[in-house]
Amino acid sequence: MTTETILKSGNGKGSKQAVEQALAALPQPIAAYTPDTSPVRADVNLKDRTLWLCRMPYGGSRMLAAAFCSIGLDTHVTPDEDARTLELGAKYTSGDECYPQRIVLGDYLKLLEDQGLEPRKTAFLLPTANGPCRFGQYVGLLRRVLDELGYHDVEILSFTSADGYAGIGEQAGELIRTAWRAVLVQDILLKLLLMTRPYEVEPGSTDRVYLECLDLMGEIIARQKIPHKERMVALKAGLRRCKEKFSVIPVKKEDRPLIGVVGEIFCRLNTFANNELIRHIEAQGGECWLAGVGEWVWYTNAEAFRRHREEKRRFRKEWLKTFLTARIMHKDEKALLEDFREVFASRPEPHIHELLEYARPYLPQEGAMGEMVLSTGGAIYLYHQGADGIVDISPFTCMNGIVTEAIYPRVSKDHENIPIRVFYFDGTNRDLDRDVGIFLELARTYKRRKKIPGRGKWSAGKISRTPEQEARPGYSPTT
């Protein structure tokens, strides 16, 4: 605001000097990062360092770590989160930060403070984005805290699609393809886990198989210097083996309410962050259908197409790049899901445009960004797939949860009053079982009266006899 504007708006009252003094007393805006001061460095040296990844979810990070290993980087997933994670996270934050930020910060500091990792041999992965929320601030805060504590030598690998993944160097293309496959493998294994575990006869048998499958698939993803084609053959063979392992887990027949799980990506996928909400739901008689990691990747792709359209860049170089990326992503997705058509026939993942269109009457993609759109569209998609209730997992104070919580009553009213509830998490202990119990009662009541039929459940152990119902809708990047 200029002095003239203030003088005009103030009806000419006050001298020019007084106004200038008042303006000078205002806090000065902090300059945005410049290339020199940015916490995101393009010349990160990962040679002779161990790269650490936080859990989102554990299995997904294991697969992603394997993808980094495939280009020769020694990469590991952070150990189990615990009270110390929260203690360290809270110690170096003010309380204004998001809950996921505290967990990530706490986990990384725990490695340095408690395990005494050598800073010169350590690097942390923390992607960034220019999105509408606080996620873009994570990396700056981590850098600041590390520097304040004297860990200047710790590197942060913080690539973003905006810089062409410069932080990874010349192997970026190879890594991105393998990482996408790792995401797909993670989503497939997690889906198998969630479809089987609630029905297992022997407690713990599904988790055991899941961990074995992570080992098996991690080894294939981590193989170095093999062509993409050869890796795909090995991945498909590995996944078939996983399918067999899950299919022989003894299961019992039970009629459980199907609960769709949407929400903020870190909190819904990191089981520590959400106090193992899914296990609580399973323990009280439900089965969960959780939105995976791939959904977010497809969303960023759809967003890139939207921006190309808005900026009238269709059929130009950038558009072509996005188009080709989508084609390759789709090709890999189709190949890896090919052997799971029957198994996932009752749990088909949505086409990203389907989600965006379902959300449109409430939150149009052009006006709202991020997970609030996906959670709203996802909730409606899951309703159409016969879910008996929707749970939205959100960090406390996260704007996504705040927005969706305001929208859900209307979404529910428009969809047979399907129960939808936001579960907030902030690291404090709470009586989850009571809230889950009440919610499942609502879901059971809805299940008895709903008009949309359920899709049934996959009966583990009877894969060959499950009829093929439908393949996942194909992806057309030009739509």
Residue with tokens 């996983």: 242
Residue 264 binding ligand SF4, by CB under 6 A? yes
CB of residue 381 to ligand SF4, shortest distance in Å: 20
CB of residue 70 to ligand SF4, shortest distance in Å: 28
Contact 297, 145 (CB under 8 A): no
Quick one: how far is CA 217 from the chain centroid? Answer: 20
Candidates 133-141, 242-250, 381-389, 443-451; binding stretch for ligand SF4 (CB under 6 A): 133-141
Strand order in the sheet with 258-263: 287-290, 258-263, 389-395, 420-425
Candidates 118-126, 130-138, 330-338, 447-455; binding stretch for ligand SF4 (CB under 6 A): 130-138
Nearer to ligand SF4, 210 or 362 (CB): 362
Nearer to ligand SF4, 69 or 373 (CB): 373
CB of residue 240 to ligand SF4, shortest distance in Å: 36
Nearer to ligand SF4, 354 or 426 (CB): 426
Sequence-distant (≥ 6) Cβ neighbours of residue 96 within 8 angstroms: none
Whole-angstrom distance, CA of residue 316 vs CA of residue 330: 21
CB of residue 204 to ligand SF4, shortest distance in Å: 32
| Binding track, positions 383-412, relative to ligand SF4; x by CB under 6 A | ------------x--xxx------------
Whole-angstrom distance, CA of residue 373 vs CA of residue 359: 6
Which of 147, 89, 88 lies closest to 119 in space, CA to CA? 147
CB of residue 100 to ligand SF4, shortest distance in Å: 5
| Binding track, positions 325-344, relative to ligand SF4; x by CB under 6 A | --------------------
Q: Which two tokens stand for residue 236?
A: 């498909």
Written as one string, the DSSP assignment of 94-160 is -S-S-HHHHHHHHHHHHHHHTS---GGGEEEE------SSGGGGHHHHHHHHHHHTT-TT-EEE---
| Binding track, positions 148-177, relative to ligand SF4; x by CB under 6 A | ------------------------------
Contact 282, 433 (CB under 8 A): no
Residue 134 binding ligand SF4, by CB under 6 A? yes
| Binding track, positions 11-50, relative to ligand SF4; x by CB under 6 A | ----------------------------------------
Sequence-distant (≥ 6) Cβ neighbours of residue 434 within 8 angstroms: none
Q: Which two tokens stand for residue 279?
A: 């296990």
Nearer to ligand SF4, 239 or 265 (CB): 265
CB burial class (10 A; 0-12, 13-18, 19+) of residue 472?
middle
Contact 452, 383 (CB under 8 A): yes
Residue 100 binding ligand SF4, by CB under 6 A? yes
Q: Is the peptide bond before 57 cis (omega within 30 degrees of 0)?
A: yes
Nearer to ligand SF4, 369 or 463 (CB): 369
Radius of gyration of the chain (CA): 24
Residue 104 binding ligand SF4, by CB under 6 A? no
Q: C-alpha dihedral over 157, 161, 163, 167, to 10 degrees?
A: 20
CB of residue 137 to ligand SF4, shortest distance in Å: 8
Bridge-partner residues for 77, per DSSP? Answer: 53
CB of residue 92 to ligand SF4, shortest distance in Å: 17
| Binding track, positions 176-195, relative to ligand SF4; x by CB under 6 A | --------------------
CB of residue 144 to ligand SF4, shortest distance in Å: 17
Candidates 131-139, 179-187, 210-218, 250-258; binding stretch for ligand SF4 (CB under 6 A): 131-139
Contact 127, 120 (CB under 8 A): no
Nearer to ligand SF4, 322 or 400 (CB): 400
Size of the site for ligand SF4 (CB under 6 A): 12
Which of 408, 443, 411 lies closest to 422 in space, CA to CA? 408
Nearer to ligand SF4, 103 or 190 (CB): 103
Rule CB under 6 A: which residues touch ligand SF4? 98, 100, 133-135, 264, 266, 371, 395, 398-400
